[in-house]
Structure formats: C-alpha cells, structure tokens
Amino acid sequence: MNETGSSLKMTRRGLLGAFAATAITAAPTYSNAFGFLRGSGDIRRLKMYSTRTGESIDMIYWVEGEYIKDALREVNWFMRDWRQDSAANMDTRTIDLMAATQNLLNTDNPFLLLSGYRTRQTNNMLRANGRGVAKQSYHMRAQAADLRMDGRSVRQVARAAASCGVGGVGRYSGSNFTHVDCGPVRTWGR
C-alpha cells in the first residue's frame, strides 16, 4: 500500500513552512529530510533505547553543517548487530531520516531500536526463522532501522517518516514497529 503526500493531514509544503522560521545548513542530499530538521536549529539529535542491550543514547551528532565523528561512532556502536557484537558505519542518510522523523513526532520519547545493522549471518538466521526478512536487506548495508516509540502508533511513526519524502518506510503493525531506510522512496505495510 502506497501512502502519498495527499493522504497526509498536513502537506509537506505546509510542514516545511511551519519549520521555515529556523534555518539550517543542509548537505545537498536528502534535503527533504533535512528540511524537517529545521525545528532543531543548527543541531541534529537522536534519542534511542535498546531493550536488547539495555543501552540508551541521547546524541547530538551534527552541529552547524558538520557531522561529529565521535558521536557517529557512538551511534554506529549503538545500532550494531548485538547478536554478533559487530558494528558498521551507519549511512548518515538513515540517521538523518530517523532524527527528522523523531522531530516531526514532537515528543521527548526515544525510539526503541529493534534492529539496526545486521551481519549476513544474523540476517540469514532471521530469514530462516521468520517471514518478511529480505535476502538483500538494507540492514546488512547499515542503511536501515526498525523502530517503535512509546506513545506513538506504528501508523504515526510511519506517516512522519514518509512525510520526509525520502527512503523506504514500512509499517509492520502486527509486530508493532516501523522500518526506515535510505533506499529508493517507497512505502508498504499496514
């Protein structure tokens, strides 16, 4: 099922207008997602918690047009394949999409990270034990995250992510999570 901008109560143009009062310097890629970070000023911040590891982060990872390398290293470690204790450099476009989504949800609640980077071994094990795990998953490329948020439904998280107009957004209501990635623009699920 494809949700277009017309199915949203507020248009992308309207949201951009709402955030236009505060400008940020944005890189040329993923400018739509960056536009939704305008309410953040000249910083980008990500708050997450993992029940798998018991870890949490509340990280400013970008300031005044520059990514903070030490902060990104912490985000990469936090989003690691906890089954294999293996980290990879997460694609900053996915991190930016998560931060923009979190900003649009207008809450102080962190994302609950269910899955970030996955090794091929973990991805194959998940494919063998369940349904819906892609053979060439964006998780293995360190370009995807599966998220949920207390106080927000799968539908709310997915709509906020899809309104950025970048990457893939999947709704997995039966499993209570939203998938986001920096692949081609597409939506699926219920």
The 10s digit of each residue's pLDDT in 4-29 is 333 333 334 433 333 332 233 333 34
CATH number of the domain to which 75 belongs? 3.30.1380.10
Q: 159: which residues sit within 8 A by CB, 6+ positions away? A: 3, 8
Q: Please tell me the total count of domains within the chain.
A: 1
**Host domain of residue 176:** 5-189
What is the pLDDT at residue 33? 53
Query: Span 36-42, mean pLDDT?
Result: 56
DSSP H helices, 30-152, are 31-35, 69-78, 92-105, 120-129
What is the pLDDT at residue 74? 97
Measured CA distances, 114 to 51, 57, 89 (Å):
8, 14, 17
Using the predicted structure, report yes or no on whether residue 131 has a pLDDT greater than 80: no
Q: Which has the closest alpha carbon to 172: 151, 189, 150?
A: 189
Helix, strand, coil percentages in the chain from 3-state DSSP, rounded to 5: 35, 25, 40
SS3 (DSSP) at 169: strand
Query: Span 1-5, mean pLDDT?
Result: 38
What is the pLDDT at residue 134? 83
Using the predicted structure, report yes or no on whether residue 175 has a pLDDT greater than 70: yes
